[in-house]
Chain A
Amino acid sequence: MGDYRFHTPDGVSDLLPDDCLTKRGLEHRLRGVFASNGYQEIETPGIEFYDVYAGGSFVAQENLYKLSDQEGRILSLRYDGTVPVARLAATLFKDVEPPIRLSYLENMYRFRESGGGRQREFSQAGVELLGISSPQADAEVIALAIASALEIGLTDLQISIGQAEFFRGLMEEWGIAAEDAAEISRHIDQKDTVALEKAADRFGLSIEAKETLLMIPALFGAYETLDAFEKRVKSPRAIAALQNVREILEILDDYGYMKYMTVDLGMLRSLDYYTGMIFKGFTYEIGFPVISGGRYDKVISAFGRDMAAVGFSLSVHLCMSALRRQGKEFLHTHVDTVIGYSREPGMRKMALSMAESLRNEGLIVLVDCEGMDEETLNHFTEKKSIEQMVFLNSSSCDCEEEETCQI
């Protein structure tokens, strides 16, 4: 077959200095936001047992990178940040009193995702708030997602909020079986009103119920969307879901973040996973949501501990693409000063100590290690666009040193 020495596998990429510097900058700011809000960072292994993901059937097996250990057990590369945290909550953290606030910033591995904005290896930054089931906790996590996006410069931001229980309540009210509900949720999620209408007729929904159903993919606004549905639904479960969204919005208003919010009760993907509010974050110039989160109270219970959980993850990779296309500031690697020296005795020592003291002042400094003479070093400085050059020799070192000290 082919010679793959010169290639990287599908869906992964090298990060060159400018991009790497920019990414580290974003990561640093994200970590800062998480930490200042009391979310403590953890690292989980890059390799988990396959059962961690497959056990609760959270992830389709086709999407997991699989390998096996020497005992023949199946392993999987880290797919997301939430499931390993759920494992931790039920094991190492089992005696820790809730609430638990954790954050992570790690590479995830997903098979079958590549091309465009989608990578098979990508960094996600995220938080999990465990042990509290309240609108305040929901709002805290959404607010933190917004603060994170703003912190890294994604100011054209829109967050859509939905509620898994609203749909479940409606299906209960209308007496629709689980399998049929799954079909309906798929049509709603794709805003496929044609298929939705046909399904409504097939399942014998009343005219009023059908109208309500068709409103779900069509309406997105703020409080008025909630008002519109509140008038139409009877199921206590669905009404409680609407009330929950209303309370979350009111709290987000206190954060000053209401302007970023829209209600979209038609966000129903991963319905098996979410048990309460669901939210996604969007920005310009990128075709995929950059933030995804919600409440998933059943994930930890799959590991044997009954514990509420809410969280979000932000794709660092997608955010970088969005920032670049939006023309936001990008960092460039540079060198401030290069120092060369003659072969005269004592010059090297002087060069090294000068470099150290300039570095202590925050400059990025190179010391020549090719033995360049002054002219070659001058040429080098120009070619590499280095701002300043210093060449030390016994005749000039005094004045050169003075000059550099004034930088």
Chain B
Amino acid sequence: MSDMITIALSKGRLADQALDLLEASGYDCSAAREKSRRLILEDEKAGLRFIMAKPADVPTYVEYGAADIGVVGKDTLLEEGRQLYEVIDLEFGACQMCVCGPVSLKGKLDQIPNKRVASKYPNITRSYFEGTKRESVEIIKLNGSVELAPLIGLAEVIVDIVESGRTLRENGLDVLEVIADISARVIVNRVSMKMKAQSILPMLDALRAQLAKQKEQKCREEAAST
């Protein structure tokens, strides 16, 4: 039985940050650092196999057990709503999922009935408005530049990720309501957690320890600079 661990990473910055952390925790990730177009990168000696996937597909790979572990943003997890173990908050890639709209709508959001909401995240939008706010809305799925929608009258508000809020402000929009805090998470397949516990649990412990160490270091640096 192969005890190799398959890790699904979200292509891009998140993958690099995840690899940095894994390496700092004592795992050899040189296989994944290879600059190539290969989608599966394997290091038999280290017992690791990496899959480079689109962020939205990472939870899918992990839920079906095609990957044992994944690193993915909380936004993707909320949107995909899959059955997984969500074990560590890596705290990088931090931002917020928000309802945004024209500044003039601040505090008046509830007064618009059946509003149109544009978003890249239709499931998060539905669960927030229908579940949390108990309100029916018309959801318009867009694939990018969502800020356009309220500007040209396609929708009253949008649901999107806000990091600095600069794009919003430059377009006369603002955060109206915060739905959730977002950051990168480590997820684990429910079966792998049991069947490969001997390799997965130590890895999770090592990651947690490294995170704590980095946090402590940061605190000390901050204390020193003030």
Contact = CB atoms under 8 A, between A and B. Distances in A.
A133 interface: no
A116 B64 contact: yes
A287 B195 contact: no
Interface string A212-241: 000001001000000000000000000000
Given A282-B191, A286-B65, A220 B197 contact: yes
Interface residues of B, number: 21
Interface string A141-159: 0000000000000001010
Contact of B194 (A116, A117, A158, A285): A158
Interface in A253-286: 262, 264, 282-286
B66 A287 contact: yes
Nearest to A156: B1
Contact of B195 (A116, A158, A193): A158
Nearest to B68: A287
Contact of B65 (A220, A287, A326): A287
Interface residues of A, number: 25
B85 A262 contact: no
Nearest to A264: B194
Contacts of A284: 1, 195
Contacts of A285: 65
Contact of A190 (B84, B88, B194): B84
B75 interface: no
Contacts of A282: 191, 194-195
A119 B199 CA distance: 30
A190 B86 contact: yes
Interface in A156-170: 156, 158, 160
A288 B85 contact: no
Nearest to A191: B85
A283 B195 contact: yes
B87 interface: yes
A289 interface: yes
A248 B118 CA distance: 53
B125 interface: no
B189 interface: yes
Given A117-B64, A193-B87, A289 B197 contact: no
A287 B191 contact: yes
A192 B86 contact: yes
A286 B194 contact: no
Contact of B191 (A190, A195, A220, A289): A289
Contacts of A405: none
A92 interface: no
A96 interface: no
Nearest to A115: B64
A194 interface: yes
Interface of A: 115-117, 156, 158, 160, 190-195, 217, 220, 262, 264, 282-289, 326
Given A156-B1, A190-B85, A264-B194, 17 more contacts: A116-B66, A158-B194, A190-B86, A191-B85, A191-B86, A191-B87, A191-B193, A192-B86, A194-B89, A262-B194, A282-B191, A283-B191, A284-B1, A284-B195, A286-B191, A288-B65, A289-B191
User: Can you list the 8 inter-chain pairs with the closest CB atoms, starting with the nearest?
Assistant: A287-B65, A116-B64, A191-B85, A194-B89, A192-B86, A287-B64, A282-B191, A282-B194
